[in-house]
Amino acid sequence: MKLYKLIALLAFVSIGFTACVSNEIEEDAVYTFSQTYKVAVSDMDKRVDPAGTYYEYEFFEPELTNYVYQKGILQAFLNYTKDSRKTLCPLPFSDFMIDDRGYQWEEQFTVEFQPKYIKFIQKISDHGDDQPVSDYYEFVVRFMW
């Protein structure tokens, strides 16, 4: 009987000590860096691409390094205002228009990134004079690495 009590005591003690072992995984700290820019684009900044099919706005951005370009997250948004409401729209973005004569067309915004440069592209389709709706656009660009 004493032997059974001794075995039971040893079993409880061994279970108690093994339960105190930490099984948590230690994780390395992860640091995220980000930068956000507002880019104002006016008629003066635009140029027509060589083929004449779209407008482009290209900007030099020294913070867009090779490392950020290859390893980071790059996001761009259009600060869009319609009916006095401001909305942050992720690019690519399309808006459909109808003018007072009944013509319908689409305005598309996209973005291209490359180290040191950001290019916003505006395409206008199915409209007679192919002029942008506005002469001022505001974009928001975010880099995370």
**pLDDT per residue over 50-106, tens digit each?**
877 888 899 999 989 999 999 999 999 999 887 788 889 999 999 888 878 888 888
pTM higher than the cut 0.75:
no
What average pLDDT does the segment 10-35 reach?
A: 70
Cα 138 from Cα 101, distance rounded (Å): 28
The per-residue pLDDT for 84 is 81
The per-residue pLDDT for 132 is 62
Q: How far apart are the first and last CA of the chain?
A: 67
10 — pLDDT class (breaks 50, 70, 90): confident
